[in-house]
Amino acid sequence: MKGLSVPRLLNMKSHNWARRRWLDFRNGHTIYLIFLMTFANFITIQYQLLLQRVPIFQELHINIWIFAILFVVIYLPLGMIIGYWHRRNQFAVEAEALFNQNQIGATINLFLIDLIDGKVTEDEKAHMRRYLLNIMRNAPSPYRGLNKEDNSLKKDGTQQDSSSEMEIPKTR
C-alpha cells in the first residue's frame, strides 16, 4: 500500500480508527448479536418451562419451532406496546436526567448566558472558540463555516482580518 509506514500506523488517527472499530464491535455485539442470542435463549427457556414441565401444555405436543412462532407473535406486539408506553411516558424523565449530567452542555450554555450578559472577556471567547472548533474538527459531520462578520479567529484562535474567510476544519 502506498504511504503506509510504521509511524503512520502509530499516529493518533490510527489509534482512533482502532478505537472506533472496537466501539463498532461492542455496539454490534451488545445491541444486535447478543440481543438475538438472548432472545432465542429466552424462547428456549420458556419452551422448557411451559411445555416440558407444565402438565396441561405437555398434552399439546407442540414442537419448539411452532412454539417460537407463537411466542414471537404474542411477545413482539406486547414488547412494542410497552416500548411505546415507555417512549411516551419515561423518555422525558430519562432525557432530563441525562441533561442534568451533561457538563459540556452546561458549560456551553453558561458561557452563552455570560456572553449575552456581557461578562465574557475576549480571551474567554477565544478559548471557547478554540475548544468548540477542536470538537468540530474531530466530528464526522461537515462544518459549514461562519458568516464573514463572525469569523474573527483562525484555527489557532488568533485574530484574523475580516476580509479573509475562516479556514474550515477538515472532516473525515
Section 72-97 average pLDDT: 90
The pTM score is 0.46
Q: What is the pLDDT of residues 17-35, one digit of tens each?
A: 888 999 999 999 999 999 9
Q: Which residues pair with 153 in a beta bridge?
A: 159
More confident residue, 11 or 165: 11
Q: How far apart are CA 158 and CA 49, in angstroms?
A: 70
Q: DSSP character for 168?
A: P
Q: How far apart are CA 138 and CA 17, in angstroms?
A: 12
Distances (CA, A) of 150 to 47, 62, 103, 114: 65, 71, 26, 18
What is the percent of the chain where pLDDT is above 70?
72
Section 5-25 average pLDDT: 72
Q: How far apart are CA 37 and CA 51, in angstroms?
A: 21
Q: CA nearest 153: which of 135, 129, 137? A: 129
| Residue whose C-alpha cell is 461562519 | 146
Section 84-102 average pLDDT: 87
Q: What is the pLDDT of residues 115-163, one digit of tens each?
A: 899 998 999 889 988 888 887 777 665 545 544 444 444 555 454 444 4
C-alpha cell at 14: 490510527
